Amino acid sequence: MTRPLAAVLADTAARRPDRPALIWDDDVVTYEQVWDRARHYAGVLRRHGVGPGDRVALLVPNSPCFPPIYYGVLALGAVVVPMNAQSRAAEVEFVLKDCGARALVCEGTAVEQGAPAASAAGVELFTVADERAGGIDLDAPHAGPPVARHTDAAPDDLAAILYTSGTTGRPKGAMLTHRNIVTNIEVTAVSPFGVQDDDVLYGCLPLSHTFGQVCVMGTCFLAGATLVLAPRFPAEQALRAMERHGCTIFMGVPTMYHALLEAVAAAPAPRLRPPTAADRRWRY
């Protein structure tokens, strides 16, 4: 039977609590710390009425905040709706209304666009990593007890709604179940990437997109590997980070590979494992 999507993180946190899950600059966050933060966020959301089946939209860029918020929403049995963190207020408002969102979680840099959108849509606003007043602070230290464990969502329960880019019309939400995403993660972790627990992945793809969520974050957390998270992709910076942290897997789109080839002459190349029939590390 397919496990709930939240269990991808929870099970690894129980099995390898002290293993580094995330690296962000010089900060290292263990699996236990990521899951504890996810349970904290879930507890705050639950105290404000969020429950199973509720849509919770995320306006959060690549940062250490994203994974615990994503899995915290899922731990409640709620439905996570990640959005491009660079979306404008009108775009955010459309998604909030279209998916019937109960809440919007904004990281500090996205509040300027997210707050008016939440107000216009009549949606509760929660904030993380934001020192300004406004919204409900998910990071408040005395917000109450965390949830004890994740909800046992059924395989065919809705887990996430991922919206298209809207280049040819209004964005459309793809409704994905726990079975859809967990199966995708489990298969992708084996082939083509063969992710192992001693791997270190470089994560510059947007976690709001399915490629970043499933192929990078999902497979990494399933295997108990380590994710070196980056907010964006300057090729020279990526090469330095991969060399510094000993990255073994890079996933990207073709333009990223071209940029890396152009930058490699001026910077040391990381020792990523070469692709073979059984170990295809360089994939996009």
| pLDDT score at 279 | 38
How far is Cα 26 from Cα 241, in angstroms, rounded to an integer?
A: 11
CA distance 108 to 130: 4
Q: Which amino acid is located at 216 in the chain?
A: V
- Give the C-alpha distances (Å, rounded to integers) separating 173 from 51, 80, 83, 206, 223: 21, 12, 11, 17, 29
Return the pLDDT at 269: 67
- Per-residue pLDDT tens over the stretch 49-92: 999 999 999 999 999 999 999 999 999 999 999 999 999 999 99
At 268 the pLDDT is 62
Query: How far is residue 120 CA from its own chain's centroid?
Result: 26
Tell which phi-psi region holds residue 134, choosing left (phi > 0), alpha (psi between -120 and 50) or beta.
left
pTM greater than the 0.75 cutoff: yes
**pLDDT on residue 168:** 81
Give pLDDT, residue 281: 47
pLDDT of residue 49: 95
Whole-angstrom distance, CA of residue 157 vs CA of residue 139: 28
Select from 92, 102, 98, 9 the least CA-distant residue to 52.
102
Residue 99 contacts by C-beta under 8 Å, 6 or more apart in sequence? 55, 57, 79, 81, 161, 173
Domains in the chain: boundaries:
31-185
CA gap 5, 159 in Å, rounded:
7
What is the CATH architecture of 31-185? 3-Layer(aba) Sandwich (3.40)
pLDDT, residue 272, reads 65
Of 67, 93, 89, 90, give the one whose Cα is nearest residue 80. 67
Which pairs from 267-270 meet CB under 8 Å and 24+ separation? Answer: 267/236, 267/239, 267/240, 267/243, 268/239, 268/243, 269/239, 269/243, 270/239, 270/242, 270/243, 270/246
Could you check whether the bond before residue 192 is cis, i.e. omega within 30 degrees of 0? yes
Predicted pLDDT at 151 = 95
pLDDT tens per residue across all 284 residues of the chain: 689 999 999 999 999 999 999 999 999 999 999 999 999 999 999 999 999 999 999 999 999 999 999 999 999 999 999 999 999 999 999 999 999 999 999 999 999 999 999 999 999 999 998 877 678 999 987 777 899 999 999 999 999 999 998 778 889 999 999 999 999 999 999 887 889 999 999 999 999 999 999 999 999 999 999 999 999 999 999 998 998 999 999 999 999 989 988 888 776 666 665 443 333 444 33
Q: How many residues does the chain have?
A: 284
Whether 196 and 279 have beta carbons less than 8 Å apart is answered as no
User: 3-state SS of the chain: helix, strand, coil percent to 5?
Assistant: 40, 20, 40
Q: What is the C-alpha to C-alpha distance for residues 212 and 210, in angstroms, rounded to an integer? A: 5
